[in-house]
A and B are shown apart, each in its own frame.
Chain A
Amino acid sequence: DGGITQSPKYLFRKEGQNVTLSCEQNLNHDAMYWYRQDPGQGLRLIYYSQIVNDFQKGDIAEGYSVSREKKESFPLTVTSAQKNPTAFYLCASSISSGGQFYNEQFFGPGTRLTVL
């Protein structure tokens, strides 16, 4: 089945450690996104990538890093510089239509990160 997978579902980290969240899609989508969701709040964009080997900062990129070496993969690293990393992280992807990205985004099941 086509879809987006994120692993792990739950992740615990000690303060000061970097951690990488996985996101893989087999939908052949060009664009991929990372969002952060805090309790009772909407989603905020961290990073997005429209094509392999290229990505742009979203609204809250500080303390995060990404890579896009393969079309199907867009891992997110939460670094020790992120002051409040405990949150729910959602990965999404969408089709690119001639450079315009108005198609709906499909979301993965999310990773819940807790810093101990």
Chain B
Amino acid sequence: AQKVTQAQTEISVVEKEDVTLDCVYETRDTTYYLFWYKQPPSGELVFLIRRNSFDEQNEISGRYSWNFQKSTSSFNFTITASQVVDSAVYFCALQETSGSRLTFGEGTQLTVNP
């Protein structure tokens, strides 16, 4: 069965620090998709990125970057030069070919202090 583990429950940093959120997944499928979502205090989940299992290129979008390593089943998320507005809960999720459901990790609460 699929599983997503976000071992860091809470992370606290000072503004402008870089921070990496870890995500480790388990799946038996060879084709799957990985996602990151942001949940600000308002509660709505905001989609950040989708990556399929055949694309191991790292991706950068502004201050955000993602490191996908199939060999270690990890899909880590780095925020460079963090800002207070980055404070939120971040979820990693896995979607297998066998169904449409997303399996979420338990989330990492990121707090960026001024």
Q: Which residues of A contact B (CB under 8 A)?
A: 31, 33, 40-45, 48, 50, 58-59, 88, 90, 92, 94, 100-110, 112
Contact = CB atoms under 8 A, between A and B. Distances in A.
Interface residues of B, number: 24
B42 A42 contact: no
Nearest to A103: B50
Nearest to A110: B43
B88 to A, nearest CB: 13
13 contacts: A33-B101, A40-B9, A40-B106, A41-B106, A41-B107, A50-B100, A101-B99, A102-B95, A102-B97, A104-B47, A109-B42, A110-B43, A112-B43
B45 A42 contact: no
A94 B47 CA distance: 12
B44 interface: yes
Interface string B78-91: 00000000000001
Contacts of A58: 101
Contact of A42 (B95, B97, B104): B104
B35 interface: yes
Given A42-B104, A101-B100, A106 B43 contact: no
